[in-house]
């Protein structure tokens, strides 16, 4: 009996390494600032061009830095095999009446800067855009206070991730206080940043 061996081409993993944190100052040998481990040149600079031909990690949906629609495309999340990339609506939205449920429902239902089909990001996604050494005011680290987000207010931001030990709570991030993530009651009034998975076709994002 003849056995036929077929070689299956498997795509290389996309974005397998974690991103750099943005910390470049070293306080001792072996710390993050000393080693600066992680993918890409630095927190804001890719190691290869994005589809628009530049190495900017963050651009608007047209590949520039105008942000007319207030959407920030994070090219560190670009999956060239799937043809997708994650984008953030950079204007904080307040879930003022129904807390976490409102943040999820409004993200899904509403149109932000001409784009619908949005969602609330999970805890890993909203953590990924915290820059760990930026926007220092006194002893406070405003982790979203860098271009193009420039968010310096003392807000909690909802994630879509439930606290599994107590499902009446979900995780929030407070970038002001060192990027702290905690679980809080889902009824609380906090802010959120809608995100969206964009389809990439050349330099067209839909």
Element (H, E) at 160: strand 157-162
pLDDT at site 9:
44
pLDDT at site 14:
57
pLDDT at site 139:
52
pLDDT at site 10:
43
pLDDT at site 4:
53
Q: What is the pLDDT of residues 148-206, one digit of tens each?
A: 999 988 899 999 999 999 999 999 998 876 567 899 999 999 999 999 999 999 999 99
Separation between Cα atoms, residue 37 and residue 33, nearest integer Å: 9
pLDDT at site 138:
52
pLDDT at site 40:
87
Give the residues across from 201 on adjacent strands.
204
Q: What is the pLDDT of residues 29-74, one digit of tens each?
A: 998 889 988 888 899 999 999 999 999 999 999 999 999 999 999 9
**How crowded is residue 90: how many other Cβ atoms within 10 Å of its Cβ?**
22
pLDDT at site 66:
97
Domains in the chain: boundaries: 47-205
Separation between Cα atoms, residue 173 and residue 152, nearest integer Å: 14
CA distance between the termini of the chain: 51
* DSSP-H helix ranges across 59-164: 99-109, 123-128
pLDDT at site 7:
43
Q: What is the pLDDT of residues 106-143, one digit of tens each?
A: 999 999 999 999 999 999 999 999 988 755 555 555 78
- Residue 28 has which token pair? 């001792």
Question: Is residue 94 scored above 90 in pLDDT?
Answer: yes
């Amino acid at each position: 009996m003849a056995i036929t061996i077929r070689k299956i081409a498997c795509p290389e993993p996309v974005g397998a390494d974690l991103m750099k944190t943005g910390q470049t100052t070293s306080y001792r040998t072996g710390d993050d600032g000393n080693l600066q481990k992680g993918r890409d040149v630095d927190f804001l600079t890719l190691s290869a061009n994005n589809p628009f031909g530049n190495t900017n990690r963050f651009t608007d949906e047209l590949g520039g830095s105008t942000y007319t629609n207030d959407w920030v495309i994070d090219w560190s999340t670009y999956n060239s095999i799937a043809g997708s990339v994650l984008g953030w609506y950079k204007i904080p939205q307040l879930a003022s009446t129904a807390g976490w449920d409102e943040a999820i429902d409004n993200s899904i239902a509403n149109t932000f800067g001409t784009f619908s089909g949005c969602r609330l990001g999970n805890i890993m996604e909203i953590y990924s855009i915290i820059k760990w050494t930026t926007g220092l005011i006194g002893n406070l680290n405003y982790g979203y206070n860098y271009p193009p987000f420039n968010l310096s207010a003392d807000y909690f931001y909802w994630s879509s991730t439930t606290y599994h030990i107590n499902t009446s709570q979900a995780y929030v991030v407070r970038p002001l206080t060192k990027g702290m993530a905690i679980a809080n009651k889902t009824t609380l009034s906090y802010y959120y940043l809608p995100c969206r998975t964009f389809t990439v076709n050349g330099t067209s994002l839909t």
